[in-house]
């Protein structure tokens, strides 16, 4: 390539980057002002006990928390991901924050009729999350900082035997189920952030679909971090009994803040024989300012086990937010013929850093997994795919197909791929394909020469790149994801 071309390309990319960064507006960045009860900053055994007491938890739950806390104290914060951040000061965060319910001074916790703080209700309305039992064709669990404020459509679901409630309620109302499954897929000692979560778990969602039931509507959780300097540590458990089916979606956002906020969630999914779970995420946590100061640190452990024969678990994620994302939704394929899928779009812009991917652990015979990962890097961001495909000696006839595509938008961003493949059974077939491309000046000019504006051209090219993944998202979510990408790529031309 001649020097001339290089120079021209640089100016072109500069322009594209300007386009991208200019008016990225984060419309979910508003702050809700309401009376809140927030714990003093800091973490110690007393705090863990206080959280448990606040939630009126049974002894076994407190024990689980304390075990995890004691383990966590001796662990070291991991820094192996391809993302740079200064070690966090865990004493500078508050580990519990909840809107106060002035009218009944907390006694309503046991009431069936929940009273929702009007300011909180307003916040969810502004976010487009239906928290009343409207005609929306989706059941919603709305989580505000540390607690769940509303769960809709519960009665309708209860008729089918489906349990859809907050994690805290499940601990009270279905202790035997929670106790049976908590920590079975992600043990408290699994990793640093999982241990922290196990110690100070705030709220999350609990889903149980009984044998043979096909959940007729999508179940969804919306996570909102509002308070500054607060960590959100949700714990979600999803159980699909034999022959059942459920599609679960989660969305998230947070106000614009100037210090990092911590989000360390744990999700455990258990899929029994012949059951199928689709788990979709559209992640739009606040990414921070131009330098990604103040954004969300999204350190999440998501893992599911295909426990029974012919079971299927499918993770789909569209990641556009957060300053740093550290997340590997994984499948343990234990049942024979079970299927694991991972479809991901991760967009990073400005100085965002994403290190995300999946783990497919093949244990059962004829287990199959598919990984389709699309990474988009713009600005000065770094986007990393990190994935493990492990075929155990027992996994006779296992198959995996992996495709990792990266697209670079500009010349100051990075795309990295770290595939780890461990095969211990000679009958396995593992395929890995990877491509890296650039939105080229040539592509843009070609579109423009046909009358298409630069802006439309970028979003057309990007959506085309992501198509295989978006087609896996539930319809409304797919649209939201496309819009999110469009906003993240928005600029002002002319």
Partner 1 sequence: MLLKVENLQAQIDEKQILKGLNIEVNPGEVHAIMGPNGSGKSTFASVLAGREDYEVTEGSVEFDGEDLLEMDPEERARKGLFLAFQYPVEIPGVSNKLFMQTAVNAVREEKGLPALDMFDFDEYAREKIELLDMRADLLERSVNVGFSGGEKKRNDIFQMALLEPKLCILDETDSGLDIDALRVVANGVNALRSEERSFIVVTHYQRLLDYIKPDHVHVLYNGKIIKSGGFELANELEQNGYDDIIQQYQGE
The site for partner 1 (CB under 8 A) is made up of 3-5, 7-8, 12, 437, 440, 442-443, 445-454, 456, 460-461, 463-468, 494
- State the nearest-atom distance from the C-beta of 489 to partner 1, in Å: 15
> Which residues, in sequence order, are bridge partners of residue 382?
353, 414
Q: E-assigned strands of 19-162?
A: 36-38, 97-99, 138-144, 147-151
Of 111 and 442, which CB lies nearer to partner 1 in the complex structure? 442
Dihedral over Cα of 214, 215, 216, 220: its sign: negative
Q: Is the CB of 118 or the CB of 494 nearer to partner 1?
A: 494
Residue placing its CB nearer to partner 1 in the complex, 112 or 492: 492
Q: CB–CB of 226/254 below 8 Å?
A: yes
Shortest separation between residue 2's beta carbon and partner 1, angstroms? 8
Nearest distance from C-beta of residue 447 to partner 1, angstroms:
8
Residue with Cβ nearer partner 1 (6 or 35): 6
Nearer to partner 1, 87 or 451 (CB): 451
Residue 380 CB, shortest distance to partner 1, in Å, is: 23
Q: Tell me whether residue 159 or residue 450 sits nearer to partner 1 (CB atom).
A: 450
Residues 43, 44, 48, 54, Cα dihedral to 10°: -70
Pairing of strands 97-99, 36-38: antiparallel
Spatial CA neighbour of 224 closest among 315, 138, 299, 296: 296
* Closer by beta carbon to partner 1, 70 or else 443: 443
Cα–Cα distance measured from residue 95 to residue 229, given in angstroms and rounded to the nearest whole number: 9
In the complex, minimum distance from the CB of residue 18 to partner 1, in angstroms, rounded to a whole number: 14
Closest CA to 241 of 334, 162, 158, 330: 162
Exposure string of 43-57, with b = 16+ CB inside 10 Å and e = fewer, is: beeebbeebbebbeb
The least distance separating partner 1 from the CB of residue 56, rounded to whole angstroms, comes to 52
Question: Whose Cβ is closer to partner 1: residue 313's or residue 415's?
Answer: 415
User: How near is the Cβ of 455 to partner 1 at its closest, in Å?
Assistant: 10
We find the least distance from the C-beta atom of residue 402 to partner 1, in angstroms, to be 18
Q: Give 32-36 contacts, CB < 8 A, sequence gap 24+.
A: 32/119, 32/120, 32/122, 32/123, 32/226, 32/255, 33/119, 34/99, 34/100, 34/117, 34/119, 34/120, 35/99, 35/100, 35/102, 35/117, 36/97, 36/98, 36/99, 36/100, 36/145, 36/226, 36/227
């Amino acid at each position: 390539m001649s020097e001339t071309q290089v120079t021209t390309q640089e100016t072109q990319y500069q322009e594209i980057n300007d386009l991208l960064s200019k008016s990225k507006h984060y419309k979910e960045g508003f702050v809700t002002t309401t009376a809140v009860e927030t714990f003093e900053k800091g973490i110690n055994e007393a705090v863990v006990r206080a959280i448990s007491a606040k939630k009126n938890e049974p002894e076994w739950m407190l024990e689980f928390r304390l075990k995890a806390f004691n383990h966590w104290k001796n662990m070291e914060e991991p820094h192996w991901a391809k993302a740079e951040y200064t070690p966090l000061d865990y004493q500078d965060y508050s580990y519990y924050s909840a809107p106060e319910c002035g009218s009944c001074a907390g006694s309503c916790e046991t009431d069936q009729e929940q009273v929702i703080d009007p300011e909180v209700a307003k916040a969810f309305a502004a976010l487009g999350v239906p928290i009343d039992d409207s005609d929306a064709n989706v059941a919603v669990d709305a989580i505000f900082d540390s607690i769940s404020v509303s769960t809709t459509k519960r009665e309708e679901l209860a008729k089918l035997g489906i349990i859809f409630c907050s994690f805290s309620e499940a601990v009270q109302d279905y202790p035997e189920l929670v106790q049976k499954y908590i920590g079975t897929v992600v043990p408290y000692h699994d990793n640093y952030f999982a241990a922290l979560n196990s110690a100070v778990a705030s709220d999350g969602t609990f889903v149980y679909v009984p044998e043979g039931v096909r959940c007729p509507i999508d179940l969804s959780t919306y996570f909102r971090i509002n308070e500054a300097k607060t960590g959100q540590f949700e714990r979600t458990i999803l159980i699909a009994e034999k022959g059942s089916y459920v599609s679960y979606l989660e969305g998230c956002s947070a106000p614009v803040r100037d210090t990092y906020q911590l989000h360390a969630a744990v999700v455990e999914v258990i899929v029994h024989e012949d059951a199928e779970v689709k788990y979709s995420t559209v992640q739009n946590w606040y990414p921070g300012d131009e330098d990604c100061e103040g954004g969300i640190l999204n350190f999440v452990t998501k893992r599911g086990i295909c426990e029974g024969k012919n079971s299927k678990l499918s993770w789909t994620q569209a990641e556009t937010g957060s300053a740093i994302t550290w997340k590997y939704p994984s499948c343990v394929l234990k049942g024979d013929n079970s299927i694991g899928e991972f479809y991901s779009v991760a967009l990073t812009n400005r100085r965002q850093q994403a290190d995300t991917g999946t783990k497919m652990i093949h244990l059962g015979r004829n287990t199959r997994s598919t990984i389709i990962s699309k990474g988009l890097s713009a600005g000065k961001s770094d986007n990393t795919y990190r994935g493990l495909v492990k075929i155990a000696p027992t996994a006779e006839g296992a198959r995996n197909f992996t495709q990792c595509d990266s697209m670079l938008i500009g010349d100051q961003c990075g795309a990295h791929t770290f595939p780890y493949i461990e095969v211990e059974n000679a009958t396995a077939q593992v395929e890995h394909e990877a491509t890296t491309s650039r939105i080229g000046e040539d592509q843009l000019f070609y579109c423009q020469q046909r009358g298409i504006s630069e802006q439309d051209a970028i979003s057309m090219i990007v959506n085309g790149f992501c198509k295989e993944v978006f087609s896996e998202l539930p319809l409304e979510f797919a649209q939201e994801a496309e819009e999110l990408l469009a906003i993240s790529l928005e600029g002002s031309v002319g």
